[in-house]
Structure 1
Amino acid sequence: MTRPDPLNARLIDVELDDTIGRSTPDVEHERAVAIFDLIEENSFRPVGDTGEGPYRLKLSLVEARLVFAISRENGEAVVTHILSLTPFRRIVKDYYMICESYYDAIRSATPSHIEAIDMGRRGLHDEGSQTLKERLAGKIEMDFGTARRLFTLVCVLHWRG
């Protein structure tokens, strides 16, 4: 079996459905940056897709679930996956708490204290990224960097400002 062309196993567009809701201008900016970073560099392919990418991803929220609606570049539907956000609640909550500590520390803490907090922040981000990758295993093939950028977007979706 031939491997898909890596130039086609990627996202070219990420859209947030109206179910996500809108927030403050600062939060909207963070969401736009997260989407830009994800599109800029990613490796993404629905498992078992016999067609060709690149892909478009539309994210929406239904109750406590994140809906991944994946289509081709021309808009043809490929697959929809629904992912419970429950496994991410603790990680996202802890991630926000440590981010707040980090931003507070930047103002007055020693460089070594800031570095220690940042290491913890990166560790939680890695944990969330790995959880996302595991929850999507068998559904979407992606590298760890793409999982990290997607987890950033999941976090920003929760941020209300």
Structure 2
Amino acid sequence: MGERNSGNARLIDVELDETVGRAAPDIEHERAVAIFDLVEENRFHPVGDEAGGPYRLKISLVDARLVLNVTRESGEAVVTHILSLTPFRRIVKDYFLICESYYQAIRSATPSQIEAIDMGRRGLHNEGSQTLMDRLAGKIDVDFDTARRLFTLVCVLHWRG
């Protein structure tokens, strides 16, 4: 338990495998920002790993599944978890729709309309983050803010431009 609360229960690097594929430059920028934000501040500890981190995370997509390959700073393998993306499909689709509405509203809507749409957008993002935390429960210990940053990255993996 002490390890989870120490400065070593964190990610120091996140890499997207070539299976994720490349996207348009603006989407690649969003991916880079999402990775930067995640590495900048996170709590990440594979359950049962007594040796501790810090950790590196390599994300890949295999057969519509999210593969999270966790290694130590040295490159030594810790664990690999495979998560189905099915529980995220509706949330990600709805999130993209509301983000599109939000960006349209910024151009012409009243501040109260923009605020209402933004509240909905944040609510969906929170729902996706909680779903991710639930899917990682018993596998990887993350706090809610880290789950939010990881969910942002899951969303950016779906953007095709």
Structure-1-length-normalised TM-score: 0.98
What SS is found at the alignment partner of 1:8?
coil
**Aligned residue in 1 for 2:2:** 3
Work out the CA distance in 2 between the residues paired with 1:90 and 1:23: 22
**Aligned residue in 1 for 2:112:** 112
One-letter code aligned to 1:3: G
**Aligned residue in 2 for 1:137:** 137
Work out the CA distance in 2 between the residues paired with 1:44 and 1:6: 11
What SS is found at the alignment partner of 1:51?
coil
1:129–1:144 contact (8 Å) kept in structure 2: yes
| Mean CA deviation greater in 117-126 or 46-55 | 46-55
How far off is 1:73 after superposition? 0.3
**Aligned residue in 2 for 1:96:** 96
**Aligned residue in 1 for 2:38:** 38
How far off is 1:19 after superposition? 0.1
What SS is found at the alignment partner of 1:66?
strand
Q: Percent identity?
A: 79
Work out the CA distance in 2 between the residues paired with 1:6 and 1:20: 31
How many residues are aligned here?
160
Which blocks of at least 5 consecutive residues in structure 2 are unaligned? none
What SS is found at the alignment partner of 1:71?
strand
**Aligned residue in 1 for 2:159:** 159
Work out the CA distance in 1 between the residues paired with 2:51 and 2:28: 33
Which blocks of at least 5 consecutive residues in structure 1 are unaligned? none
How far off is 1:117 after superposition? 0.0
Work out the CA distance in 2 between the residues paired with 1:6 and 1:121: 33
Work out the CA distance in 1 between the residues paired with 2:23 and 2:141: 31
1:6–1:43 contact (8 Å) kept in structure 2: no
Alpha-carbon displacement from aligned partner over 1:73-128 (angstroms, at most 9, x marks no partner): 00000000000000000000000000000000000000000000000000000000
1:69–1:81 contact (8 Å) kept in structure 2: yes
Structure-2-length-normalised TM-score: 0.98
Work out the CA distance in 2 between the residues paired with 1:74 and 1:7: 17
One-letter code aligned to 1:103: Y
One-letter code aligned to 1:62: V
